[in-house]
Amino acid sequence: MARVLIINPPSPEQLGAPLLGLQYVASALLAHGCEVKIIDAAARYYEGDFDSIVAEAERFAPDVVGFSLFSRWVWHAYRLVERFSGRFPLLFAGGAHTTVLAEETLEHGFDVAIEGEAEDPFVRLIDSLGHPEDFGQIAGVVYRASDGTIRRGPPAKLVENLDDLPLPLESQSLFDPKWYHPSGNETIPGGILSSRGCPARCTFCANYVTGRSFRHRSSASVVEELNLYHERFGTTFFPFWDDALTTNKPRLFELCEAIERDIEFDLKWSAITRANMVSPELVQAMRRAGCVSLNFGVESGDNEILRAIKKGITIEFVVRALTMAKDEGMLTACNFMLGFPQETPESLGRTLAFMQRIEPMVDSFSTLGVLVPFPGTPLYDDYHVEHGFTDWWLREECSHYSKPPPIDDFDRFYRHYIDDTNLELDFFHYSNEMRAMIKECLRFKGEHNLAKMGLMRDPVFRPEPALAGVGAA
């Protein structure tokens, strides 16, 4: 059977756990009888440059090399693919960037692009390796034919029954623990995905891989996965990475009841949710089932901005949701995004005031958070011509990201923690006043988090004036 190499390309934003998407695809290929190897070059402790990645790939001698592409770091992936071209029989591209820009990936050296959820198309492509003329019959596949033309199969299909997918833990052994933890002695699960799809229509969100159709696994399947992880690896804490876990409340009540009834260990888990999709009864049920932390997507503290980005919430929803979570003793996190084109210094001032208002109920704010206009989003489509950031992901200067310095170098660590490299990309040509307010919001979030971590110095220690939003250029 086919030998398949899957690569997560290098990126400055280093990962502390395997990506669930890679695990699902690898598990599907293993279940189909393929021999699979993973190179997670974006992992925190993976040591390898382009030369060593190519050498490692050549030692494996794959029939197919598949790359997972993310827009923020696709420049690095395209440079790596240049080194792979001509050395291996077939190069596949998948992931979020490929889903929205499949033809671009073919123009940069790939032979086949997979749009949307990749498990089924990848397996079907493997079955058709000896007959590339059949690629055009596979849903979600875009490919370069033997005559050089780009051709498309039928539109991508979503997986209807998620229980049909092999569990991602079946590929856990392909991910070297040393890539994610310096000791190499810990098994790092990528988390749990109990559903796919998000019905929300936020203008900035790139949820086009799993689509807006909400689909969920059976409670029995989720419980089985949790118990198996614990049985094999001793894992007791799991992040749930569902985009819309609380969308279907009856289903989530059922899942919580199944966890309470059938989990065989002291489970603790975290979840992401919208502030308008929780109730006191639901939060209580989640807490009884072991949920210890809720992460809320807030984005702005100004209701007019929330309306403009089609978030579907108001700030009062956020206050109520945080109150529910804290009443149950949960940890809370809030994500804010800064720099929407509709924002003004005054609206950012309202966001800062709102962060200050809810601070007593928030354990951590999202670090960084300056807006990035991802391709395929309404935000990108509406503004890329006006603001001149068309195809920004192909520019080298947009592909870099400052890595955190050691904690013991506190001055540098502090400045890294409260700044955001994305602000320097200046996609929306912010005024001096806007930049100053964005930096003030970043400083507030960063100092709050550092204080919670016990890392803040004496209050007399302050950032440089520019970082505090005073006299910012």
Is pLDDT of 105 > 80?
yes
Q: List all residues 6 or more positions away from 260 whose beta carbon is below 8 Å from its beta carbon.
A: 288, 289
Range of the domain at 435: 191-468
Tens of pLDDT, residue by residue over 304-331, are 999 999 999 999 999 999 999 999 999 9
In this predicted structure, what is the pLDDT of residue 420? 84
Q: Which residues of 268-290 are buried (b: 16+ CB within 10 A; e: fewer)?
A: ebbbbbbbbbbeeebbebbbebb
Flag the least confident range among 179-193, 215-229, 411-425: 411-425
| 104, 132, 152 - which closes a domain | 152
In this predicted structure, what is the pLDDT of residue 403? 62
The mean pLDDT of 202-207, rounded to a whole number, is 91
Say if residue 233 is in the same domain as residue 342: yes
Say if residue 443 is in the same domain as residue 298: yes
Is residue 169 included in any domain, yes or no? no
In this predicted structure, what is the pLDDT of residue 461? 32
Lateral strand order in the sheet of 3-8: 35-40, 3-8, 64-68, 90-94, 112-114, 141-144, 150-152
Is pLDDT of 469 > 60?
no
In this predicted structure, what is the pLDDT of residue 421? 83
Say if residue 432 is in the same domain as residue 312: yes
Say if residue 88 is in the same domain as residue 234: no
Indicate which CATH number applies to the domain containing 337.
3.80.30.20
The mean pLDDT of 126-140, rounded to a whole number, is 95
Say if residue 239 is in the same domain as residue 333: yes
Indicate which CATH number applies to the domain containing 44.
3.40.50.280
Which of the pair, 211 or 6, is modelled with greater confidence? 6
The mean pLDDT of 61-78, rounded to a whole number, is 97
In this predicted structure, what is the pLDDT of residue 432? 97
Tens of pLDDT, residue by residue over 234-260, are 999 999 999 999 999 999 999 999 999
Flag the least confident range among 1-10, 364-373, 391-400, 456-465: 456-465
**336: its two tokens:** 């804010």
CA angle 365, 366, 368 (to 5 degrees): 125
Is residue 374 included in any domain, yes or no? yes
Say if residue 394 is in the same domain as residue 258: yes
Is residue 380 included in any domain, yes or no? yes
If pLDDT is split at 50, 70 and 90, which confidence band does 406 have? low
Q: State the amino acid at position 216 in one-letter form.
A: H
Q: State the amino acid at position 196 in one-letter form.
A: R
The mean pLDDT of 159-178, rounded to a whole number, is 95
Is residue 164 included in any domain, yes or no? no
Is residue 165 included in any domain, yes or no? no
Q: What is the pTM of this model?
A: 0.92
Is residue 269 included in any domain, yes or no? yes
C-alpha dist (Å) from residue 457 to 149, 362, 447, 461, 469: 61, 20, 10, 6, 20
Tens of pLDDT, residue by residue over 277-304, are 999 999 999 999 999 999 999 999 999 9
Say if residue 437 is in the same domain as residue 355: yes
Is pLDDT of 190 > 90?
no
| 152, 171, 200 - which closes a domain | 152
Say if residue 205 is in the same domain as residue 266: yes
Is residue 309 included in any domain, yes or no? yes
If pLDDT is split at 50, 70 and 90, which confidence band does 416 have? low
Is pLDDT of 471 > 80?
no
Domain count along the chain: 2
If pLDDT is split at 50, 70 and 90, which confidence band does 408 have? low
In this predicted structure, what is the pLDDT of residue 434? 98
Is pLDDT of 170 > 80?
yes
Say if residue 128 is in the same domain as residue 76: yes
Say if residue 324 is in the same domain as residue 437: yes
How is residue 149 annotated by DSSP?
Answer: -
In this predicted structure, what is the pLDDT of residue 62? 98
Percent of the chain residues past pLDDT 90, beyond the cut: 81
Tens of pLDDT, residue by residue over 8-64, are 999 887 888 899 999 999 999 999 999 999 999 999 888 889 999 999 999 999 999
The mean pLDDT of 387-414, rounded to a whole number, is 79
In this predicted structure, what is the pLDDT of residue 173? 93
Is pLDDT of 460 > 90?
no
Q: List all residues 6 or more positions away from 158 whose beta carbon is below 8 Å from its beta carbon.
A: 116, 117, 196, 197, 210, 211, 213, 215
Say if residue 133 is in the same domain as residue 11: yes
- What's the CA gap between 74 and 79, in Å, rounded? 9
Is residue 160 included in any domain, yes or no? no
**344: its two tokens:** 């003004």
In this predicted structure, what is the pLDDT of residue 410? 65
Say if residue 220 is in the same domain as residue 286: yes
